[in-house]
Amino acid sequence: MAAAALHDVVRLRPLHSLQQRKDRGPRFRGNLAFPRLYSNKPPILGLGYGNRSLITCYRDQSLESGGSVLGLSEIKEKCSKWQWKGQYFINYLVSSSSSNAEANPPLLLVHGFGASIPHWRRNIGTLAQDHTVYAIDLLGFGASDKPQGFSYTMEAWAQLILDFLNEVVQKPTVLIGNSVGSLACLIAASDSSQNLVRGLVLLNCAGGMNNKAIVDDWRIKLLLPLLLLFDFLLKQRRIATAVFERAKQRDNLRNILLSIYGNKESVDDELVEIINGPANDEGALDAFVSIITGPPGPNPVQLMPRIKLPVLVLWGDQDPFTPLDGPVGKYFSSLPSQSSNVSLFVLEGVGHCPHDDKPDLVHEKLLPWLAQLTAS
C-alpha cells in the first residue's frame, strides 16, 4: 500500500488500470480511477484499536458463511508487549483455541504497509483452531512503537521477526505475510541459520519496501522520475505533513482500499479504522516518510533461490501494486515449475490483501497446505 498515497495526491491511476481488458474495459472509473463508494452496512457497536475510542463496526460478510471474525476489542484484549533490543515496545497477539495446537507448528502473521494485527481479524480464529497463532505489529505500525528518527528498512523488520521467534515463540514457526510483510518474512527465512522457520506463506509478496524496487517494470520506469521527485518533496516537513494528512483522511483511505480490494464489501468502516487509527499516533508521519523514501531492500528474485523450506504462494489476480503480469508476479508464477518446494495458487477476483479480501479462498488453500506440512 506504499504507493497508495502517491496515487491519491498526484492523481495517478493505479498502474494496472493503464491496461484495458476487452471483456470489461477499464478496471476503475472516475477521475482517480477509484470505484464508487458502496452503501453502508448495518452497524454493530464495537471498540476501537490502540489509542482510539469507540467506533462503529460493521458486519463482515464472512460471518454469513460461518467464518470466524475477531472484533477489535477482542484483538486488543489478546495483545501484549515485547521489548525489542531493550528499547522498542512491540505489540503482539497470541491465540489458540485447541489442545491440538501444541502438536502443530505455530504461525506468525505479519501485516503489510499501513496495516496491523487487526488486518488478520478474519483469519486468526480459523487458524487458531489447530495452531498457536502469533501476530505482530511491525515497528512503526499498529500499537508498536514509532520511534522518532528511526531509519526503517526491510532488513530491520526481518531481524525483528527473527528475534521475536527466538525470544517469544521459541519453536520452528510458519511465517505468513502479506505485501511488505511477505518480503520481511522471506528475508527472515533466508537469513535464519537457527532453524527458526518451518515454512513460508507469501500473500502477494512485495518487490521491495517501496515501488523503487521494481525498476524493470515499464510502468514503474515511466513513473520513476515522478517517484524520485515525490521522495524529494516528502523530505520537506511541511509537504510531508500535508501529504500524510490527506492520505489518512477516511474518505481517501476508503477510496484507496476500494481500489486494491476485489471484494468491495470487505472495505467497511472497521477496516478504515484499522488503517486510520495508528496513523494518528506520534511518530507515524516519520515512519511513513522513512518507508516511502528509504531503500527498497532485497528483491525476492534474489532471495527465493536460498529458500529450501516449503513455500505456499497465494496471489490475488486483481492486485494493482504487484500484478501477476509485472516482474515480481511473473517470477513467482514461474517458480512451481522450477522448484518442487513452491506451490502457487492464483485467487480470482482478489486484490492486494487476499487474507482480508476473500479469506475463505485463502483458507481453502492454506489449511490443507498447513496440514500436509504438519504431517511431513
State yes or no: pLDDT of 268 exceeds 90. yes
Q: Which of 34-48, 205-219, 337-351 has the lowest mean pLDDT?
A: 34-48
State yes or no: pLDDT of 47 exceeds 50. no
| pLDDT (average), residues 81-102 | 93
Question: What's the CATH architecture for 68-374?
Answer: 3-Layer(aba) Sandwich (3.40)
Mean pLDDT of the chain: 81
State yes or no: pLDDT of 38 exceeds 70. no
57 confidence band (pLDDT: 50, 70, 90): very low
What pTM did the predictor assign? 0.79
Residue 25 zone, left/alpha/beta (φ > 0; ψ -120 to 50; rest): left
How far from chain centre, in Å, is Cα 204? Answer: 8
Q: What is the dihedral of CA 46, 118, 76, 86, to 10 degrees?
A: -160
Higher pLDDT, 131 or 296: 131
- pLDDT digit string (tens) for 160-205? 999 999 999 999 999 999 999 999 999 999 987 668 999 999 999 9
| pLDDT (average), residues 13-22 | 38
316 confidence band (pLDDT: 50, 70, 90): very high
Residues in a beta bridge with 44: 57
Q: What percent of the chain has pLDDT over 70?
A: 75
- pLDDT digit string (tens) for 192-246? 766 899 999 999 999 999 765 554 555 555 655 565 555 656 677 788 888 788 8
376 confidence band (pLDDT: 50, 70, 90): confident
Q: Given this model, what pLDDT does residue 294 score?
A: 85
State yes or no: pLDDT of 91 exceeds 70. yes
State yes or no: pLDDT of 133 exceeds 50. yes
